[in-house]
Amino acid sequence: MMKKLIDRTESVVRFSEVDAMKVIWHGNYVKYLEDGRESFGQTFDLDYLRIAEEGFVDPIVNMNIDYKQFVKYGDSVIIETEYVNLPAAKLMFKYRIYRKSDHVLAAEATTTQVFLDNEGQLQLTNPSFFLDWKVKQGLLEKA
């Protein structure tokens, strides 16, 4: 069975994140996905600073969010971020955002990121540091 890397973090819904109906404005879910990726990166040693130190950036090239239930001002959300292990030179994450009070699924999402070097060139093969990370995490057998 394939190992799963999943991180969970929590955030309180702030007034600046809601619309006139006092529910999270749909565009603000993007911030929660970012919170999830940042927490995942810190937990599993794949944060943005490390990627930059290795000479790469990893812009998002695809994002999909399915809204399921509302979340109101003052609620807390649990952001569950799961790494999807692909052979391609990219990062893909699945997200589940739950309303903490009743653990109702509020949104599901995916993001895909690619690796660019410092000159902005798309990397078609996995950077060596990323392959080493996969081995360390038990996602890839050592060559």
* Distance in angstroms (rounded) separating the CA atoms of residues 52 and 106: 32
pTM listed for this prediction: 0.94
81, 7 contact by CB (below 8 A):
yes
**Residue spans per domain, the chain:** 6-136
Whether residue 35 is predicted with pLDDT greater than 70 in this model: the reply is yes
Does domain 6-136 bear CATH number 3.10.129.10? yes
Whether residue 143 is predicted with pLDDT greater than 90 in this model: the reply is no
Residue 44, both tokens: 């599993």
139 to 40, 44, 134, 136: CA distances (angstroms):
15, 12, 5, 8
Q: How confident is the model over 63-110, as pLDDT tens digits?
A: 999 999 999 999 999 999 999 999 999 999 999 999 999 999 999 999
DSSP designation for 17: G
pLDDT of residue 142: 79
Q: How confident is the model over 98-131, as pLDDT tens digits?
A: 999 999 999 999 999 999 999 999 999 999 999 9
